[in-house]
Amino acid sequence: MRHGAVLLAGLVAAGLAACAPALAPQGNQAVTPVLADDVFTARDGMRLPLRHWDAEKPVAVIVALHGMSDYSNAFAMPARFWAEHGVTTLAFDQRGFGAGPDPGLWAGSEVMRRDLADAVEAAHDRYPGVPVFALGESMGGAVLLTALAGPERPRIDGAILVAPAVWSRADMPLLYRGALFLAAHLMPGVILSNTAASHVVTIVPSDNVPMLRALARDPLFQKQTRSDAVYGLVNLMDEARNARPDNPPPILFLYGKNDQVIPAKPTEAVVAALDGHAVVHRYDQGYHMLLRDLEGPRVWQDVLDWIAATRPGT
């Protein structure tokens, strides 16, 4: 029996090594990051689809990062409002999402943070003298939060965290952790359903039902996710849960009382760990997709008010 257990352990180890989680390939160029009309080019030459909502005379610029399964169109509703009030929003499809390269493959948290830093620098070049803020929603919030605590902090005037993904392994049941590890290493390409766009919804991400139905019909919103991409997201959430930014820029932290995607306990633990460095708004009627909830316009205005009070020279 002992020999059989050793053999089984060896076979499992070999299987894990043979089926490691896949990462999206990177570009093979070295270029200056730049924002064109519909493309953001990162430092490795990778071209990522770009959407922008332009204020006539911008007093501030937001570089926005979308959440898991989503893409840059996530910000269409608030960005139109912000543009009417003098704030330009730039959003790109992160690698593996939307119309970007290698759809479905996880790029890796370091690459995602690097793309954020590149987009911020390109925004400074495109809008000289205009304050630049970064906004991250859910997965994008985890990218932004970990970037604030990392060695290549983006050169921003403030950070807006919208329901950041901070549900770490330590906060999950042991069964979840074990099942995810085995799926990502033994069956990395296995496809998992995305309940946010499913007809059988067990988790309610928003109270805006027409918006959710539109997402279900949107071909660029991912309806299914590879297990190794979920594994990559959990790695990122681990980092975000434990991120401790040193002397961070001004932070606006927004979350909903009814968030069924990211539990309240880790969210509130991260708020406490920021130790007064963040202005915090909890919305009693808010869900995970705060910016697209029925109460969204209130959140949009809160973002505008905070930017007006935070941007340099005010």
Give me the CATH number covering residue 261. Answer: 3.40.50.1820
Strands of the chain, DSSP E: 34-35, 39-41, 47-53, 60-65, 87-92, 132-137, 158-162, 191-193, 224-226, 251-256, 278-283
- The answer as to whether 229 is a domain residue is yes
Residue type (1 letter), 176: Y
Tell me which of 188 and 209 has the higher pLDDT.
Answer: 209
174 is a domain residue: yes
In single-letter form, the type of residue at position 40 comes to F
DSSP assignment of 218-261 equals -TTS-SEEEHHHHHHHHHHHHHHHT---SSPPPEEEEEETT-SS
Q: Is residue 205 part of a domain?
A: yes
Closest CA to 164 of 68, 85, 53: 68
**Two tokens, residue 217:** 């019909």
pTM exceeding 0.75: yes
Host domain of residue 286: 30-310
- Helix (H) or strand (E) segment spanning residue 79: helix 76-84
Q: Looking at the domain assignment, is residue 223 inside a domain?
A: yes
Nearest of 250, 220, 237, 246 to residue 71 by alpha carbon: 220
**Would you state the pLDDT for residue 189?**
60
What values do phi and psi take at 181, rounded to 5?
-60, -45
Pairing of strands 34-35, 39-41: antiparallel
For residue 269, being part of any structural domain is answered with: yes
Which has more confidence, 107 or 173?
Answer: 107
Residue 21 pLDDT level (bands cut at 50, 70, 90) = confident
Number of folded domains in the chain? 1
Tokens in use for 126? 């495109």
State how far the alpha carbon of 137 is from the alpha carbons of 30, 63, 190, 222, in Å.
Answer: 29, 11, 26, 16
Is residue 2 a part of any domain in this protein?
no
What average pLDDT does range 22-38 have in this prediction? 88
| Helix (H), strand (E) at residue 125 | helix 109-126
Residue 235 pLDDT > 60: yes
The reply to whether 24 falls in a domain is: no
Kindly state whether residue 3 falls inside one of the protein's structural domains.
no
Confidence of residue 185 (pLDDT cuts 50, 70, 90): low
In this predicted structure, what is the pLDDT of residue 130? Answer: 97
Q: How confident is the model at residue 200 (pLDDT cuts 50, 70, 90)?
A: very low
Per cent of the chain over pLDDT 70 is 87
* 309 in Cβ contact with 160 (< 8 Å): no
Which residue type does 237 have? M
